[in-house]
Amino acid sequence: MGKPTGFLDYKRKDSITIPEKERIKNFEEFHTALPKEDQMIQGARCMDCGIPFCQAGVMISGMASGCPLHNLVPETNELVHKGNWEQAYIRLSKTHSFPEFTSRVCPALCEAACTCGLHTEPVATKDNERAIIDYAYEHGLVTEEIPKVRTGKKVAVIGSGPSGLATAQLLNRRGHSVTVFERSDRPGGLLRYGIPNMKLDKRSIDRRIDLMEKAGIEFKCSVNVGKDITAEEILKEYDRVVLCCGASNPRDIKAPGRDAKGIYFAVDFLKEVSKKLMDNDYDSNSVITADDFSFGSLKGKRVIVIGGGDTGNDCVGTSIRLGAADVTQIEMMPPAPNERAVNNPWPEWPKVIKTDYGQEEAIYCYGKDPRIFKTTVTEFLKNSKGHLKGVKTVELESKFDKETKRFNMVPVEGTEKELKADLVLIAAGFLGSESYVTQQFKVDCNARTNVSTAEGSHKTSRENIFTAGDMHRGQSLVVWAIAEGREAAREVDESLMGYSNL
């Protein structure tokens, strides 16, 4: 422990956040790093406690507690405190494939399980991690290992999201020849097209992909496996296949008027905006003033976002940057409490309400929180030309169902309302993997359409085919996808070589 009383001597200090007034003008990241001296003090707050829940990565009451990658958090925090940034990077990279991604988009499971957070604010581990990886890139420390010997084995990774990239990275380091297939025009999957640029600058992905290509990994983009090339063709050419296609089947809202023009899935909306930004060489101004999106210009339009999760929040922030006149976010569940409930003790994930960046920006722009809780859409309203003009909503309440023995959200009679809308974005989550891929590879799926494996394994029901990420565990976090990819790589390596040192 660098400073035994650090958690008593110093208060938590987060990275600098650009005010809403300035950050909504563009799609640039709006968190800037603390000076290195201040970040070193944040490292000193780590208690080096006897049982570091921060790195446990275990499930407690159905929720993750601590880092699924098992990053050695107290060790890296101490190295930050000492200003030994190079050793901090070496230590972090032993367990982590892509700190530049999680240090920007992860909800910081490590911090939620931090012992220091039991009585005061947790250690700023996420910001420490970002400081480490940013320093490493700035000083040329980040490389991708080029294997000295190739094994002669070929592996196809289907999907280039966080799980696919982690799988490819480790298998390539081991000496296998890895080809990553991606149906979009650029690699990155969810990282590139599911997360807005202001949360994760796509140049961070470009930088990592460039290193991976130089290390020998081949990326084949605009190739939709299952349509452009068959599963059998893949299996004939490659010794092993790893399915990392995500849980990209969006949940729809089945209500009258669904065919109205002006209703889009959130993932399609976010992808189009991100692609436009990259096609314009990250020129934010050209994106904001453009009106040639499939959904047209948002200037002066009223937007309704259905869904209260991270994707819904991203739609709020993106709509504001595109000039929306008003944004409303509809959430069917009640708001979480302001503080932990008695039945939600530390080190469980804290089920408390969070006002994210998009909601903060909506409050600044429109003078109110955009969220309407305990509400659902019952009908989409359209004009004589079939264009969306509004939605009908109804309030919900929780009632116990004696037959299912579960609490369900049911409509409250007499609470119907109409809200005006020019655009609706459906951000209601995902239902699992897409059937055309799983059917092509003839792998078994469970009731939630996730690819089935034995518990603790990534091997599918079909020989030589493995799976990882959201396609395996369902919609989840980037950090879980990376952890899954690393575990799958070890299992694939062992199946090819009879043992694994990954």
Q: What is the pLDDT of residues 227-240, one digit of tens each?
A: 999 999 999 999 99
- pLDDT exceeding 70 applies to what percent of the chain? 100
Residue 219 lies in a domain: yes
Q: Are 20 and 106 in the same domain?
A: yes
Tell me how far apart the alpha carbons of residues 442 and 444 are, in angstroms, rounded to a whole number.
Answer: 7
Tell me how far apart the alpha carbons of residues 263 and 65 are, in angstroms, rounded to a whole number.
Answer: 37
Residue 461 lies in a domain: yes
- Give residue 1's pLDDT: 63
Q: Are 354 and 489 in the same domain?
A: no
Tell me how far apart the alpha carbons of residues 248 and 194 are, in angstroms, rounded to a whole number.
Answer: 10
Q: Are 169 and 278 in the same domain?
A: no
Q: Give the domain-ending residue among 390, 405, 426.
A: 426
Residue 118 lies in a domain: yes
Q: Are 31 and 134 in the same domain?
A: yes
HSE-up of residue 124 (Cα within 13 Å, Cβ side): 25
Tell me how far apart the alpha carbons of residues 77 and 67 are, in angstroms, rounded to a whole number.
Answer: 14
Q: Residue 101's domain spans which residues? A: 6-138
Tell me how far apart the alpha carbons of residues 478 and 129 are, in angstroms, rounded to a whole number.
Answer: 15
Where residue 481 sits, what CATH number does that domain have?
3.50.50.60
Residue 143 lies in a domain: no
Q: Are 274 and 411 in the same domain?
A: yes
Residue 502 lies in a domain: no
Residue 148 lies in a domain: no
Counting as low any pLDDT under 70, the low residues of the chain are 1-2
Nearest C-alpha neighbor of 83 from the set 128, 28, 27: 128
- Give residue 94's pLDDT: 96
Q: How many CB atoms lie within 10 A of CB 346?
A: 18
Please check whether residue 375 is in contact with residue 393, taking contact to mean a CB–CB distance below 8 angstroms. Answer: yes
498 φ, ψ (degrees, to nearest 5): 90, -10
Residue 358 lies in a domain: yes
Could you check whether the bond before residue 187 is cis, i.e. omega within 30 degrees of 0?
A: no
Q: Are 487 and 395 in the same domain?
A: no
Q: Give the domain-ending residue among 426, 450, 467.
A: 426
Q: How many CB atoms lie within 10 A of CB 220?
A: 16
Please check whether residue 368 is in contact with residue 355, taking contact to mean a CB–CB distance below 8 angstroms. Answer: no
Where residue 80 sits, what CATH number does that domain have?
1.10.1060.10
153 φ, ψ (degrees, to nearest 5): -95, 145
pTM of the model: 0.96
- Give residue 338's pLDDT: 94
Residue 453 lies in a domain: yes
Residue with tokens 């809403």: 20
C-alpha angle 297-423-334 in degrees, rounded to nearest 5: 135
Q: Are 197 and 75 in the same domain?
A: no
Provide the domain count of the chain: 3
Q: Are 302 and 398 in the same domain?
A: yes
Pairing of strands 326-330, 371-372: parallel
Q: Are 475 and 441 in the same domain?
A: yes
- Give residue 227's pLDDT: 94
Q: Are 184 and 279 in the same domain?
A: no
Q: Are 18 and 85 in the same domain?
A: yes
